[in-house]
Structure 1
Amino acid sequence: MLSAQDLLVALKLLQEDAPTHSYALLGKTLGLSQAQVQQAYAHLTDARLLRSGSSAPVRAALVNVLVKGVPYFLPAPQRDEQVVRGVATGCSVAPLPGTEASPLVWPTEEGDAEGFAVEPLCPEAVGAARCDQRLHHLLALTDLVRSHRSSLKERSLAAQRLEHAILEPVATY
């Protein structure tokens, strides 16, 4: 079964500059151990989200999992109705024109944004996103898809943008 950390690894592997030659180096960029990355590779390969013997994600399959599966097996329920301090995610990172989305944050005292708290995909996602703007963008779109605070329109637009970002890696966002 896939874990949130497995999906974090898959999203990082979409990046052209991802260190794919070393589990330890990839783990360091994500805040994961070498063993966790190795296990993620195995899970992703078993789930047919990573080509066997390769570091290349199966992009179309990954889109399907993120858009259709993650909202159900890794939802991002709202914590409470209070505005808190944290690291920006959702529309604050990946704006959706024509929507009035609430600002979302991953709650942490070290954050520089304010918004409604949403749990990150996994705890390591926050640190990894701070070091990689493109990964942060993909995680923010994923949060919009999995958030109970997002409207159906916002989830649909975020899913389209996520699909575009994954299937067309040279696209600018």
Structure 2
Amino acid sequence: MLSAQDLLVALKLLQHDAPTHSHTLLGKPLGLSQSQVQQAYEHLTDARLLRPGTWSPVRAALVNVLVKGVPYFLPAPQQGDQLVCGVATGCGAVSLPCVETAPLVWPYAGGESEGFPLTPLCPEAVTAAQRDPELHRLLALTDLVRSHRSSLKERSVAAQRLEQAILEPVAAY
């Protein structure tokens, strides 16, 4: 069974410069331990989201899981109508027209944005996103797909952009 941390590792592995030669080095920017990264590797390989014996993601399969599966097994239900401070996600972190009057944020005391609270994919996602703008973009698009606050149009456009972001590097070869 995949966990949210497994998907965080998978999203990081989409980057060409992900340090795949060491579980510790891969886990450090994600806030994950060596054992958590090893477990994620096993889960991702078992789920056929990594090519066996490599750290290479099966990009098309990952798109399917993020767009079609995550909204059901890792949904982001509405947390309330009170605005909170936090780290921007969803439309507030990617250039996408929003229906909401306020953006979505991951509640975080050190955050600089204000918006409706949304539970991050996993607790480590907030800090990892702050360290890595590309990972932040992928997490924000994933949040739009899994959020109950997103309109159908926002979810659809986010799913298209997520698919493009994941599959685009393959088309460049």
Q: What TM-score, normalized to structure 1?
A: 0.96
Distance, in Å, in 1 between the alignment partners of 2:89 and 2:124 is: 14
User: Which stretches of structure 1, 4 residues or more, deviate above 2 A after TM superposition?
Assistant: 99-102
Structure-2 residue corresponding to 1:150:
150
How do 1:4-153 residues align onto structure 2 when only pairs under 5 Å count? 4-97=4-97, 99-101=98-100, 102-153=102-153
| 1:91 aligned partner, one-letter code | C
| 1:5 aligned partner, one-letter code | Q
Residue 29 (structure 1) shift: 1.1
Residue 135 (structure 1) shift: 0.2
Distance, in Å, in 2 between the alignment partners of 1:153 and 1:140 is: 15
Structure-2 residue corresponding to 1:3:
3
| 2:57 aligned partner, one-letter code | P
Aligned to 1:81, the other structure's residue is in SS state coil
Tell me how large the CA RMSD over aligned residues is.
Answer: 1.2
Aligned to 1:116, the other structure's residue is in SS state strand
| Unmatched tracts of structure 1, length 5 or more | none
Percent of aligned pairs with the same amino acid: 77
Distance, in Å, in 1 between the alignment partners of 2:91 and 2:139 is: 11
Q: Are 1:163 and 2:163 an aligned pair?
A: yes
Distance, in Å, in 1 between the alignment partners of 2:7 and 2:43 is: 10
Distance, in Å, in 2 between the alignment partners of 1:87 and 1:74 is: 19
| 2:165 aligned partner, one-letter code | A
| 1:81 aligned partner, one-letter code | D
| Deviation sequence 1:27-54 (CA, Å, 0-9, x none) | 1110000000000000000000000000
Instruction: Judge conservation of contact 2:4–2:121 (CA < 8 Å) in 1.
Output: yes
Aligned to 1:78, the other structure's residue is in SS state coil
Instruction: Judge conservation of contact 2:99–2:151 (CA < 8 Å) in 1.
Output: no
Identify, as 1 or 2, the structure richer in strand: 1
Distance, in Å, in 1 between the alignment partners of 2:96 and 2:25 is: 34
| Unmatched tracts of structure 2, length 5 or more | none
| Deviation sequence 1:73-115 (CA, Å, 0-9, x none) | 0001111001100000000111224x42440000011000000
Distance, in Å, in 2 between the alignment partners of 1:125 and 1:83 is: 20
| Deviation sequence 1:47-69 (CA, Å, 0-9, x none) | 00000000100000000000000
Distance, in Å, in 2 between the alignment partners of 1:95 and 1:72 is: 25
